[in-house]
Copies of this chain bind each other. A is one copy, B any other.
Amino acid sequence: MEDSKKIINTGLRGVTVASTRISHVDGEAGKLIYRGFPIFDLSDKTSYEEIVHLLLYESLPTEQQLINLNKRLTDQRKVPEKLIAALKTQPEDALPMDILQAAVPMLAAGDSNAAELTIDNSQRIAESLIAKIATIVAAWHRIRNNLDPIAPDPSLNHAANFLYMMTGQKPDETMARFFDTCLVLHAEHSFNASTFSARQIASTRAHMYAAVAGAVGSLSGELHGGANTRVMQMLQKINSVDAIDDYIRQVLETGGKLMGLGHAVYKTGDPRARILAPMSKKLGELSGNTKWYDMSIALEEKGKKAFKEKKGIDIYPNVDFYSASLYHYMGIPMDLFTPVFAVSRIAGWTAHVIEEQFGGADAKPVLYRPASDYVGDYCGPAECEFVPMEKR
């Protein structure tokens, strides 16, 4: 084995494992691009449904393509009765991400053509998952509160329909548009941990549901999708602008982190945070309670200054930082922040699974099967002589 292939215990950071046509994260320039298009344009000018088309079908839709896609997505929103029945058996204090991870393979169980590996079938399943994950997250929230799930409303777009199914209230235009933009912003982010999980599972030729269920598990981790919840927990703990200085001092003294500030890839700021911040401000103002936004902006400014002065490092808000207060203003319960991430990211996951399954011009799908370095156990790297039980 060549030495160049020994990259031990670094979590594959900076290791380029595959080529992709789906998205590009330019950490140095602070740019995020979905199939060629910068996120600033997309978030400003498109809907989540257009992004679904862009990610799955490699182009922004024409008007007719979008009408057709909308029709297929709205037709697919309803989940099988057997799945709702299964959810109703589960304990109401279950973590919503566990429920979502259980639900995805049950969608497979209800799909008699889950395993056929053709591009048409994968696109069909992708659309079905994009349509249904929103329904599952909303349905579970109702079920755990002893409320009946609310049937999807085909007159609402994906974003507005999710908020409606979750709360029972149709959101006003501003909130619906802002949530739509959140879905656009979270839809895709290259080879992040959950997407890599999905691709890695799909590389065994497991079906798309199996891969997506793995991605849901990965997203649940606090170092990944769980981070937006932790930002809100931090804001609630601090609880006032006046308490920020003390909190930062304490974090610096204990070698801790400010949640939502800093990113593994973006070195000069996460473009999504810049788009989310004004939406949080606006919804704060409309709700008559700007506290959570005010705390966020103050924490960003003071945290940036303090970490530069004391540690010499630049920290910038990432996508989780302003989505926390924004989701809170939208009435989304804190423990649904990460499931809501999945409601959007399913578009990226499924696009990546399709790329893994069928490749592009430059991609050559192959089972991910890395090597490891056996460093031995209590006999050292040598083999142990077997010891019968009576001599142990």
Contact = CB atoms under 8 A, between A and B. Distances in A.
Interface of A: 1-2, 4-24, 33, 35-38, 41-42, 45, 50, 58-63, 66, 82-83, 85-86, 89-91, 93-95, 97-99, 101-106, 108-110, 112, 114-115, 190-194, 196-197, 200-207, 209-211, 213-226, 264-265, 360-364, 366-379, 382-384, 386-390, 392
Contact of A206 (B85, B220, B384): B220
Copy count, this protein chain: 2
Nearest to A37: B384
A91 B105 CA distance: 12
Contacts of A110: 91, 94
B101 A90 contact: no
5 shortest A-B CB distances, which residue pairs? A204-B221, A210-B217, A214-B214, A94-B109, A36-B384
B18 A8 contact: yes
Nearest to A220: B206
B264 A58 contact: no
Contacts of A220: 204, 206-207, 210
A63 to B, nearest CB: 6
A57 to B, nearest CB: 11
Given A204-B218, A376-B36, A9 B18 contact: yes
A192 B363 CA distance: 22
Nearest to A81: B89
B200 A60 contact: no
Point out which of A202, A366, A368 has the most chain B C-beta atoms below 10 A from its C-beta: A368
Contacts of A197: 197, 200-201, 214
Contacts of A21: 374-377
A220 B213 CA distance: 12
Contact of A17 (B8, B50, B210, B378): B8
Contacts of A219: 204, 206
A194 to B, nearest CB: 8
A352 B239 CA distance: 39
A14 B371 contact: yes
Contacts of A35: 377-378, 384
A88 B109 CA distance: 12
A16 B373 contact: yes
B11 A5 contact: no
Contact of A105 (B5, B85, B98, B209): B98
A86 to B, nearest CB: 4
A10 B366 CA distance: 6
A250 to B, nearest CB: 22
A201 B192 CA distance: 11
Given A16-B373, A60-B392, A214-B214, A367 B223 contact: yes
A254 to B, nearest CB: 18
A370 B191 contact: yes
A198 to B, nearest CB: 9
A217 B107 CA distance: 14
A5 B16 contact: yes
Contact of A389 (B24, B63, B378): B63
A204 B191 contact: no
Contact of A222 (B16, B89, B106, B205): B205
Contacts of A20: 372-375
A299 B10 CA distance: 43
A361 B217 CA distance: 27
